[in-house]
Amino acid sequence: MSGWRAGPAQWAMVAPVQALLVGVIFLPSLYVFWLSLNKSSFGVDPTFVGLANYAEILSDPYFWRAFRNTVVVVLVVVHLELLLALGAALLFAGGVPARRTMIAIMLAPYAISEVAAVVMWRFMMDPQVGMVSRALAALGLPTLEWAVEPAHGLLLAGLLSVWLHLPFTFLILYSARLALPGDLYEAARIDGASAWQQCLRITLPLLVPAMLVAMLFRYVFAFRLFSEIWLITQGGPARQTEVMAVYLYLEAFRYNEFGLAAATGWLMVVASLLLAIPYLRQMYKRMFAPEGQA
């Protein structure tokens, strides 16, 4: 697609967006990099220490605990979510009664804040009065002791995260499924393919690109996980359920170790960009494609 040559008027048009991004995100994150090379705390002038902060956090067992927790939660949450979203998308594409209402219901958790979701899930999962806990107990199953058992705290935060973000992933996969050409299925039916074969040979392979996009997005965003953990366990007991963002927050705002927090932050930036490389490459190719091919 060709375009007119950009001039000063066009730069004026993109200026507000660019000013916000550069002023609020880009320059501060460069400053974080500089901060990560310094020893710094409240009321003390920063002193340059090179990579000492990185060395210190990389030898901190709590950092590695937070890192492991983050990786496990992200992997479980994103893949469980994709699986559920795929199932729901295929179910909805096959036709459901009262479609608009059903989609509105599927969409509702998207509108719920993390805090409100924590209220709901804590109430349902309360070891004493929660009805899910009571139902589990009545069935003779163990209940989630999320306040005392670190793995249970992480599991509850993960469940909550899936609940909050399923609508997004579901909508991406559902609209991708609806965009598949109908004549493919027509042809498959004429050739005598069963519904199961159509799903396996047509739907799933053609949905792979949309699933990869959804997965990448969710990796990058799930990696930022903060509120769910903070509101359920505050990283406790005994710092057992911290994730990267909680670790960073505590270093910065509880222990006032800005250098260490900055080093953690910069590692998070690098990790996010690495996760997003396939997406960035695809975008780069598309945007810088020669005229007429985009």
Partner 1 sequence: MTRPLHVRLLRHLALAMLVAWSAFPIALVVASSFKPARDIFVHPPRWLFWPTLENYAGLATRWPDFFHHLANSAIVAAGATLLAVGASALAAYAYSRWRSRALTASAFSMIFIRLIPPIVITLPLFPAVNELALNDTHLVLVLLYATFFVSLGTLVLRAFVDQIPRELDEAAMVDGASPFGVFRRVILPLCAQGMVAVGVFVLVYAWNEFLFAFIFTTTRAKTAPLTLSEMTGAIDGVEWGVLFAATTLQLAPIVAIVVAAQRYLIAGLTAGATKG
Which of 7, 26, 31 has its CA nearest to residue 258? 31
Instruction: Give the chain's end-to-end CA distance (angstroms, integer).
Output: 6
Cα separations in angstroms, 70 against 184, 217, 228, 245: 41, 16, 12, 9
Q: Is 255 near partner 1 (CB under 8 A)?
A: no
DSSP letter string over 196-216? HHHIIIIIHHHHHHHHHHHHH
In the bound complex, what is the minimum distance in angstroms from residue 18's beta carbon to partner 1? Answer: 6
Q: x/- binding map, residues 191-210, to partner 1, per CB under 8 A? A: ----x--------------x
* Per CB under 8 A, 231 contacts partner 1: yes
User: Which span sits near partner 1 by CB under 8 A: 5-13, 52-60, 70-78, 200-208?
Assistant: 5-13
Task: Examine residue 163 and tell whether it contacts partner 1 (CB under 8 A).
Answer: yes
Report the nearest approach of partner 1 to the CB of residue 178 (Å).
9
**Shortest distance in whole angstroms from residue 142 CB to partner 1:** 18
Q: Report the C-alpha gap between 150 and 241 in whole angstroms.
A: 6
Question: Are 164 and 114 spatial neighbours (Cβ–Cβ below 8 Å)?
Answer: yes
Instruction: Provide, rounded to whole angstroms, the least separation between the CB of residue 275 and partner 1.
Output: 8
For residue 294, what is the DSSP state? Answer: -
Q: Does 147 bind partner 1 (CB under 8 A)?
A: no
The b-or-e profile of 102-135 (16+ CB within 10 A means b, else e) is ebeebeebeeeebeebbeebbebbbeeebeebee
CA distance linking residue 80 with residue 206, whole number of Å: 20
Out of 197, 204, 273, 278, the only residue in the binding site for partner 1 (CB under 8 A) is: 273
Name which position in 54, 63, 146, 223 contacts partner 1 (CB under 8 A). Answer: 223
Site residues for partner 1, 17-76, by CB under 8 A, read 17-18, 20-22, 24-26, 28-29, 31-32, 35
Site for partner 1 in 105-144 (CB under 8 A): 105-124, 128-129, 131, 134
Binding flag, residue 284, partner 1 (CB under 8 A): yes
Q: Which two tokens stand for residue 205?
A: 């392979």
- Output the smallest distance, CB 59 to partner 1, in A: 21
282 binds partner 1 (CB under 8 A): no
Q: ∠ CA(180), CA(101), CA(106), 5° rounding?
A: 70
55-63, 64-72, 145-153, 163-171 -> range binding partner 1 (CB under 8 A)? 163-171
Q: Which stretch binds partner 1 (CB under 8 A): 46-54, 63-71, 140-148, 226-234?
A: 226-234
Judged by CB under 8 A, the chain residues 76 through 95 that form the site for partner 1 are 87-88, 91, 94
Give yes or no for a contact between 176 and 207, defined as CB atoms under 8 angstroms apart. Answer: yes
